[in-house]
Structure 1
Amino acid sequence: MARLVTRVLVLAIFGLLASVEANVEEDELVATVVLFRHGDRAPLKSFPNDKYSDEKYWPKGIGQLVNAGKYRAYQLGKYLRHRYHTFLSDDYKYKEISVISSNIDRAIMTAELVLAGLYPPTKEDIWFKNLLWQPIPVHTMQTDNDNLIQMEASCPKYDTLLEKITKMPEFEEVKQRYSDMFKTIAENTGWTNVDIETVKSLFCTMYVYSKHNPSYIPEWYTKLNQKSLKNIAGLAFAIPTYTKEMQRLRTGPFFNYLINHLDGAVKGEKQKFLAISGHDSTIASVLSTLNCYSFEPPEFTATVFWEVYKTNSGDHYVNLLYKKNSESEAELIQLDNCKSNATLDELIAVLSPILTSEEQWRHDCFDSTSAAGSRIIDSRFLIITVIVLYVNKYL
């Protein structure tokens, strides 16, 4: 593989952030991958007593992109055009950019809207003067086979690990610590069993309401500790990648795809710009795997950037950045455990516990004799430490 050099800052695991510009000194940007969450949507589901979860309040349908989300996605495209105006051609070129999305309507539509903002047609690309838009392909895969973006492909081994993890004492401790809050939620929602996952579901629905129509938020919810609700929801997003083995089965295919694309782009064998349209769970799992997840639920159009630069001496390094919402700038974060001036091989070594090929992933998911279950105790030590520190500090 081509040699990349990873430039990192030694930052705290919960993320000291520093603003950076796309052009770093005199170094040349040679490849970029962006992963973004879709724009604002209607709620996916809500609690039994919530009258506003009825589809009559969401004419485009439950879980569908709403107008505010369309605008936010379009604005992200304009942001990318401004950031990469010297990197990408003004007109769309298929050899420069590739776009993939989960096979979910809101993600596909977001990708299309981002592209509309990124590539407004000019000159010969204007095919109808009254419509300044041009079609650009967005590639997807069936949800049942998607172990890359939505991460919903069947994996029995992962399901077993996840079930074991959710029963661990660390999470029972959170439930006990907030028993009064959980009781209040149960009394008002109609849920018979409230746990960390249902609190996340409640938080996400109320987040949608806060963006769309705050009057939909019930008064009892506003009286709850909002910081605690957000922190519990943030913790819930980290559970799917709680151990190294879970990371390998959940995000391993993503990072394998990412590294192959960056390496190919540096060699000139792949497009220099890759856009990935995904979900809050995608972003949280990716950042959590890199140990740079802030335990804040990803907002609409939150974006992760991987930017590869070439120095005057011919070396390459990667900057990892995060744009938390539509109002913020992309900010530099760290790739955990990487040394300064690391080669691609050293970067791969950092990710080696979770990197997996498609064939190996399927073998491990469906092989009942896999050692995944036996590694659960050994692989979780660091992540348990992080979770416990987080619980003690923030919850």
Structure 2
Amino acid sequence: MKTLPLCFIVFLFQAIYAIDGNLTLVMVHALWRHGDRTPTETYHNDKFTVDYWKYGGGGWGQLTPIGMKQHMILGRKIRDRYINGHPYNFLKPQYDQQEVFVRATDKNRTLLSAASNMIGMYSAREGENFNRPGYDFPEESGWPVGYVPIPIHTIDDAGDHLLDVDNACPLQDTVWELAKTTSIVSNYFNSENVTALMRNLTNFCGEDINPENLWILFNALKIEKQYFPEVFQNFTPWYTDALWEQIDIVNSQVQDFQNGLGLEGVVVKGIDIGRTLRKIRGGTLVNDIYNRMNRKAECLINTSQECAYTNNLKFFAYSAHDTTLYALFSLLDVAHFAVQPRGYPLYSACVLIEQWQDLNTNKTYFKWCNFDILKGSSSTSSIFASILVFLFSFVFIR
């Protein structure tokens, strides 16, 4: 049992009291990372050029068949939880466009992850017959039997400040530059271990490697070793497990800094650096979820036509990136609790936010728990979390 601040303990007692009452599930928000992908880019001396990446249509940053499978499995787990009665009969067995809305960033890997997820949720497998030919899919030779296409919504990536937390933002850039002037970040970036590592990597890679672009090398090496183990060492003779461990440690720390972690209470020019970075990166998404849930709460006691859409909507999914989940976890101060092992959420990591209503009082309640849905290597591992939040204050129980 993790030690809780007093305010969280009070909320825990209130949540237990509510659960003992007449509680019903009214809304679910899902946020997941895309599945396994090819590298989004690489370094100058890399022998694994774009020609090596044929998966998912070919090219940089594309969802692989492994990633498609990961999200199909995740979709089946979500179906099992909310449709098949393990533990909830919440959504209809067939896709209902009034109940479900899916939004992705404007990237192939998140769009196809969402499509793969919906296959898991709503396309029947062999031996299943919950879908209706002629209603849910066409009775036409060549159409995959039981496959139900689900619309995936998106907006232009340049204007997506909801799910792309690294999108162009002058304020975030300004605050991050201030963060780098603090003794915490500056001392770390300029420490002997970090500077020596950057010098060595710059020499190996044939281009400047610094703490802020280290993630590119980190991702490229990780994926290349996974997909081409037979030739990886020959192509990358300078690679060692010890060197990889150093890269992983530094990259993880830089990501923490960029999300405001470790900078709590650090003030520069009147700006609380840690708090402001966390709000900039995760605040828009939290506001979006809060506003939709607040509207849901208001409409639960209003059956007028203006509330028809909200009352019918039960499942809202965001298909996004590891940075999106980490920004949310950082803002809510659960990053290190929710992300295992070191670093960002793994492929197809998913968080669910469930909104419950006490029918006796009409109040809504939430709580937090998490568990793994898949076992295996890091390429197929996944975090499947159910979050039920009470007034966006978290109760941590282990």
Q: Same fold (TM over 0.5)?
A: yes
Q: How does 1:258-277 map to 2 (within 5 A)?
A: 258-266=289-297, 267-268=299-300, 269=307, 270=310, 271-277=313-319
1:221 alignment counterpart = 239
Q: How does 1:280-299 map to 2 (within 5 A)?
A: 280-294=322-336, 296-299=343-346
Work out the CA distance in 1 between the residues paired with 2:94 and 2:352.
Answer: 22
Give yes or no for the alignment of 1:201 onto 2:216: yes
How far has the Cα of 1:114 moved from its partner?
Answer: 0.6
Are the aligned partners of 2:38 and 2:63 in contact in 1 as well (CA < 8 Å)? yes
| TM-score with structure 2 setting the length | 0.72
Are the aligned partners of 2:354 and 2:366 in contact in 1 as well (CA < 8 Å)? yes
For structure 1, the 5+ residue unaligned runs are 1-7, 13-23, 336-341, 351-395
Q: What SS does the aligned partner of 1:48 have?
A: coil
How far has the Cα of 1:182 moved from its partner?
Answer: 2.9
Work out the CA distance in 2 between the residues paired with 1:110 and 1:263.
Answer: 28
Work out the CA distance in 2 between the residues paired with 1:73 and 1:332.
Answer: 16
The one-character-per-residue Cα deviations of 1:161-187 (angstroms, maximum 9, x if unpaired) are 122223433233333133443333222
Letter of the aligned partner of 1:75 in structure 2? I
How far has the Cα of 1:115 moved from its partner?
Answer: 0.7
Change beyond 3 A, Cα 1:188–1:83: same
Q: What SS does the aligned partner of 1:232 have?
A: helix
How far has the Cα of 1:149 moved from its partner?
Answer: 0.4
The one-character-per-residue Cα deviations of 1:321-378 (angstroms, maximum 9, x if unpaired) are 456774356356797xxxxxx5x4xx49x9xxxxxxxxxxxxxxxxxxxxxxxxxxxx
Change beyond 3 A, Cα 1:292–1:257: same
How far has the Cα of 1:92 moved from its partner?
Answer: 0.5
Work out the CA distance in 1 between the residues paired with 2:110 and 2:383.
Answer: 22
Of structures 1 and 2, the larger Rg is shown by 2
Count the aligned residue pairs: 320
Give yes or no for the alignment of 1:55 onto 2:40: no
Are the aligned partners of 2:123 and 2:147 in contact in 1 as well (CA < 8 Å)? yes
Work out the CA distance in 1 between the residues paired with 2:288 and 2:183.
Answer: 35
Identity of counterpart residues, as a percentage?
A: 24
For structure 2, the 5+ residue unaligned runs are 6-18, 84-88, 125-130, 261-273, 301-306, 337-341, 376-381
Q: How much is the aligned-residue C-alpha RMSD, in angstroms?
A: 2.9
Q: How does 1:1-395 map to 2 (within 5 A)?
A: 10=3, 27-52=23-48, 54-59=49-54, 60-85=58-83, 86-120=89-123, 122-123=131-132, 124-128=135-139, 130-131=143-144, 132-175=146-189, 176=191, 177-192=193-208, 194-215=209-230, 216=232, 218-242=236-260, 243-266=274-297, 267-268=299-300, 269=307, 270=310, 271-294=313-336, 296-311=343-358, 313-314=360-361, 315-322=363-370, 326-327=374-375, 328=382, 330-331=384-385, 344=391, 347=392
Work out the CA distance in 1 between the residues paired with 2:165 and 2:356.
Answer: 29
Change beyond 3 A, Cα 1:322–1:142: farther
Q: Structure 1 segments of 4 or more deviating over 6 A?
A: 332-335
Change beyond 3 A, Cα 1:76–1:211: farther
If asked which structure has higher relative contact order (CA below 8 Å, sep 6+), I would say 1
Change beyond 3 A, Cα 1:106–1:329: closer
Work out the CA distance in 2 between the residues paired with 1:46 and 1:11.
Answer: 43
